[in-house]
């Protein structure tokens, strides 16, 4: 007697459930990442930057610090070549990180960048960064990993020090897995 309205309601509610499930699985993660990149939540930075305006603001100096961290069991030596530089906003600056794979096996690493204070994240542009790619190093091999960055001229006046931190993750197994899948 009540079956028809019930069935309709059931279909509507179940599709609501499915939508919410898909929302959690496929919308929330990209939405969150987009949100992070726009607002700098979690100090996330964007991808390669195209220089649009070559002017340099010589009236201001900003300290940029470099920090390196190895995640979990990542055994490489990994450190910035210089700990701190002073730059003018708008001026491209090249620095490097030192990395050495001291183990006896070939490995692949991925560096994840992170900027503090968070509200500076969107004003630190990288035109060239080792973090854009995976970093393979053979057993015993060492390398200087390049980084070129520009501090935006619109950086809020209150920010005088920016810390750019890289965390190095061992992704050798992940890379191997995906190779197996491709083959």
Partner 1 sequence: MSRRARMLFALVLAPVMSVALMGKAFAEDAQRWAVNMPKGVTPVSNAIYDIHMIIFWICVVIGIGVFAVMFYSMFAHRKSKGAVAANFHENTTAEIVWTVIPALLLIVMAIPATSALLDVYDTSEAEMDIKITGYQWKWQYEYLGEDVAYMSELATPEEEIYNTAPKSQYYLQEVSQALVIPAKTKVRFLITAKDVIHSWWVPDLGVKKDAIPGLVNETWAFVEEPGIYRGECAELCGKGHAFMPIVINVLEKEEYKAWIDKKKAEVAAVRELAKKTFTLDELMAQGEAAYNRSCAACHMGNGEGIPGVFPGLKGSAIATGPVAGHLDIVVHGKAGTAMQAFGGQLSEVDLAAIITYERNAWGNATGDVVQPIDVLKFKQGQ
Partner 2 sequence: MAHGPAKGIGRWLFTTNHKDIGTLYLWFSFAMFLLGGFFAMVIRAELFEPGMQIVKPEFFNQMTTMHGLVMVFGAIMPAFVGLANWMIPMMIGAPDMALPRMNNLSFWILPFAFALLASTLFMEGGAPNFGWTFYAPLSTTYAPSTVNYFIFGVHIMGASSIMGSINIIATVLNMRAPGMTLMKMPMFVWTWLITAFLLIAVMPVLAGAVTMMLMDINFGTSFFNAAGGGDPVLFQHVFWFFGHPEVYIIILPAFGVISHIIPTFSRKPLFGYSSMVYATASIAFLSFIVWAHHMFMVGMPVGGELYFMYATMLIAVPTAAKVFNWVSTMFRGSISFETPMLFAIAFVILFTIGGFTGLMLAIAPSDVQYHDSYFVVAHFHYVMVAGAVFSGTAATYYWLPKWCGRMYSETRGKVQFWISFIGFNITFFPQHFIGLAGMPRRYADYALQFSDWNMISSIGAFIYGASQLLFLFNVIRTIKAGTPVSEPKTWEGAEGLEWTVATPAPYHTFSTPPEVK
Binding site residues, partner 2, CB under 8 A:
2, 5-6, 9-10, 13-14, 16-25, 28-29, 32-33, 36, 39-43, 71, 110, 112, 118-119, 167, 169-171, 174, 177-178
Report CA-CA distances (Å) from 80 to 13, 53, 55. 55, 28, 27
Name which of residues 89 to 128 contact partner 1 (CB under 8 A).
Answer: 102-104, 112, 114, 116-117
Residue (of 149, 95, 86, 94) closest to 123 by Cα position: 149
Q: Which of 17, 25, 73, 179 is the binder for partner 1 (CB under 8 A)? A: 73
Q: Give the helix/strand (H/E) hosting 5.
A: helix 3-22
- Rounded CA-CA distance 120/39 in Å is 10
Specify the residue, 15 or 161, whose C-beta has the smaller distance to partner 1.
161
Cβ at position 87, least distance to partner 2 in Å: 24
- Rounded CA-CA distance 98/83 in Å is 12
Q: How many helices (H) and strands (E) does the chain have?
A: 3, 9
Any idea what DSSP says for residue 45?
A: -
Interface with partner 1 includes 29 (CB under 8 A)? no
Interface with partner 1 includes 135 (CB under 8 A)? no
Cβ at position 156, least distance to partner 1 in Å: 10
Interface with partner 1 includes 177 (CB under 8 A)? no
- Rounded CA-CA distance 140/128 in Å is 25
Cβ at position 164, least distance to partner 2 in Å: 16
Do residues 177 and 116 touch, judged by C-beta distance below 8 A?
no
Cβ at position 45, least distance to partner 2 in Å: 13
Q: Nearest 10 degrees: CA dihedral of 115, 35, 132, 171? A: 90
From the list partner 1, partner 2, none, which binds 146 (C-beta under 5 to 8 Å, kind-based)? none
Q: Which residues bind partner 1 (CB under 8 A)?
A: 42-43, 65, 67, 69-75, 83-84, 102-104, 112, 114, 116-117, 139-140, 158-161, 163, 165, 167, 169-170, 172-173
């Amino acid at each position: 007697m009540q079956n028809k309205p019930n069935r309709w309601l059931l279909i509507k509610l179940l599709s609501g459930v499915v939508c919410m499930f898909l929302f959690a699985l496929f919308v929330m993660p990209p939405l969150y990442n987009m949100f992070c990149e726009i607002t700098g939540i979690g100090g996330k930075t964007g991808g390669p930057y195209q220089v649009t305006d070559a002017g340099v603001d010589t009236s201001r100096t900003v300290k940029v610090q470099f920090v390196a961290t190895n995640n979990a069991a990542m055994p490489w030596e990994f450190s910035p070549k210089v700990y701190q530089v002073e730059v003018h906003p708008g001026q491209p600056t090249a620095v490097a990180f030192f990395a050495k794979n001291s183990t006896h096996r070939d490995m692949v690493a991925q560096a994840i960048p992170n900027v503090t204070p968070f509200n500076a994240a969107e004003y630190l542009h990288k035109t060239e960064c080792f973090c854009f790619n995976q970093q393979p190093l053979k057993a015993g091999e060492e390398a200087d990993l390049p980084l070129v960055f520009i501090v935006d001229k619109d950086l809020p006046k209150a920010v005088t020090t920016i810390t750019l931190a890289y965390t190095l993750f061992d992704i050798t197994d992940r890379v191997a897995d995906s190779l197996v899948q491709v083959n």
